Amino acid sequence: MFVYAPDGKLNSEIKLQTGFFFAPQRIAVFPSGGLFVSGLEPDKDSPDTSWPFQGIFSSDGTLLKEVNFADDEDIYDLAASGDKRVVLPNNPNSNLAVAGESLEAAADGNIYLMRRISPAILYAVAPGGSVRGFTVDPGDEDFLPSHMHISGNRITILFRKELTGQQILKVVDLKGHVQVTYEDRGVNGVSELGPAFACYNANTETFTFLTTLEDGKLGIKTAQPQ
C-alpha cells in the first residue's frame, strides 16, 4: 500500500502482513488509522476457487483480526458452482460478488462493505471487528449494485441493469432503510449519467459522475433530483 500526502507526494509504504497469500480488492481506513481490507483467498483444497477474505490491519500492516461475514460460504458456493451471477464465462476462477465490492468509511466510525450481488448485501464493520448486516433490494434482481458512496448518515447505491443500461439510485440510512429512490431515465433509453458514480453529497443531495468528453478528456457530471 502507498500512503500519499494531500499534495500528492508519497509519504510511506505499508506491506500487509498476513502470513498467507490473498488478493486484496478494496481498502478503507478507520478513524483510528487502522485498515480494513477485503479480497479473495485461494482455497487450499481447491486452488481454482477462492474464499472471501476480510481483515482488520494495524496502520503498519499487521493483521489483527480476520472478519467473517454471514454470506461468505454462500458466496464461495456460488463461485464454485460457476453461477453466472458471480462468475465470468471466460474466467471460471472469478468471483464478481467480491471483486466488484464497494467499501467506504462512515461518520459513525464503522466501515461499510457492499457485495456486488442482488439484492445488495451490506455489512457494517466496527473497529473491534463486530459486524452488522443488512440488504437493499432494488425490486428487480436484474439490477446489480454497481457503486456505493456514503455521506453523513446516508448511503447511496447505484443499481444498474447491464443489458439495457437502465440505472436507479437508492438512498438508504446506515441501517438500510430506503429514504428515496431516483431513476436515471436517460434519453432514448441511453443513460445521461453513465456508470461511473464517483461521489455523493447528502447536504446538497448531489450525485457526481465521471465521463469522457468529446475531445477525449475526463469530464464531470453532477445531478440533483428534480
Helix (H) or strand (E) holding 135: strand 131-136
pLDDT score, position 145: 96
Burial 42-66 (b: 16+ CB within 10 A, else e): beeeeeebbbbbbbbbeeeeebeee
Q: What sign does the CA torsion over 62, 65, 71, 76 have? A: positive
The answer to whether the beta carbons of residues 160 and 166 sit under 8 Å apart is yes
pLDDT at 164: 83
Residue 206: per-residue pLDDT: 96
Per-residue pLDDT of the chain (226 residues; tens, 9 = 90+): 999 999 999 999 999 999 999 999 999 999 889 999 999 999 988 878 899 999 999 999 999 999 999 999 999 999 998 888 888 888 878 899 999 999 999 999 999 999 999 999 999 999 999 999 999 999 999 999 999 999 999 999 999 988 888 899 999 999 999 999 999 877 766 788 888 999 999 999 999 999 998 899 999 999 998 7
**pLDDT score recorded for residue 189:** 64
**What pLDDT score was predicted for residue 46?**
84
Global pTM reads: 0.92
CA distances from residue 85 to 64, 163, 195 in whole angstroms, order as listed: 32, 13, 19
User: Three-class SS of residue 72?
Assistant: helix
Place of cell 434482481: 141
For residue 167, the model assigns a pLDDT of 92
**78: its cell numbers:** 456460488
Of 210, 212, 213, nearest to 221 by C-alpha is 210
Write out the three cell numbers for 110.
464503522
